[in-house]
Homo-oligomer: A and B are copies of this chain.
Amino acid sequence: MRIALIGTGNVGRALAKAWAAAGHDVVLGSRDPAAKEDLAKELGVPVVGIAAAAEHGEAVVNVTPGAESIATLRTAGAAALAGKLLIDIAVGFTEEPHGTALSHPDVSLGELIQSTFPEARVVKTFTTMDSVVMTGPDTLEEPSTVFLSGNDPTAKTRTATLLTDLGWPPSTHMDLGPIETARGQEHFAHLFMAIAVSQGTYDFNVRVVLPKAE
């Protein structure tokens, strides 16, 4: 699949490398691609402008900081995103230890992106974990859970394939339902930070444990 990652931070870099290694045609989108030549060389993945990246991608993946996501995706333009799978991994929070500053207390960034780009097929996923775990689920003691939220079933199926390519078998996927459920994934940031600080690592995840079969 042609994948465009918008954002060149840790998450974008890790996913670019991992999806490229899985055989996908990956580009990174940056506001200043000329300054990222070393990065492109290091990752073996082209770094292009935001609009060019969005144009390239069959799947566009938002890995920008939550507070900047809407503005950055606007640079790509609604036309470039129309009809496309738009995977949103950003968190609509600041990253202070106990998450004191919610950017969007009563809504999620995932919903805002869907309402801002109504023709895109937004799927929120990977929001509840660090990039080391996203690209290395087997680094943990046991299988853990990856959540998906979105309104378009086909977009979720395509996202699920991309998760499987990174080592997440379908048994680890949990479809939470419509994009409103992105709130759950994003607000988990508070518990994520509390666990991270108390355990001294970002490299963990949660597994949903269901009732025993009767």
Tell me if A194 counts as interface (CB < 8 A to partner B).
yes
Chain A 193-210 interface residues, beta-carbon cutoff 8 Å to B: 193-195, 197-199, 201, 203-210
A residues neighboring B (CB under 8 Å): 98-102, 105-106, 128, 139-145, 147, 149, 174-177, 180-181, 183-195, 197-199, 201, 203-212
Main secondary structure of the interface of A (DSSP, over half): mixed
Q: In the assembly, what is the distance between CA of A105 and CA of B186, in Å?
A: 13
Residues of B near A145 (CB, < 8 A) are 206
Query: B209 contacts A205, CB within 8 Å?
Result: yes
Contacts A141-B211, A209-B140, A212-B140 hold; do A177 and B197 have CB atoms under 8 A apart?
yes
Copies in the complex: 2
CB pair A210 B206 closer than 8 Å? no
Q: What residue of chain B has the Cβ atom nearest to residue A100's Cβ?
A: B106
Say yes or no: B187 contacts A99, CB within 8 Å. Answer: yes
Contact between chains at A212 and B106 (CB < 8 Å): no
| Best-buried of A174, A186, A187, A192 by chain B (most CB within 10 Å) | A187
A98 and B181 in contact, given A141-B210, A209-B140 (Cβ under 8 angstroms): yes
Given A98-B183, A188-B187, residue A203 in contact with residue B211 (CB < 8 A) = yes
CA distance in complex: A141, B142 (Å): 14
Determine the chain B residues whose CB is within 8 A of the CB of A183 once the complex forms. Answer: 98-99, 190, 194
A130 nearest CB across to chain B (Å): 11
Question: Given contacts A102-B106, A187-B188, are A194 and B181 in contact (CB under 8 A)?
Answer: yes
Q: Tell me which residues across on chain B come within 8 A of A99, comparing CB atoms.
A: 183-184, 187
- Docked complex Cα distance between A140 and B197 (Å): 27
Is there contact, CB below 8 Å, between A211 and B201? yes
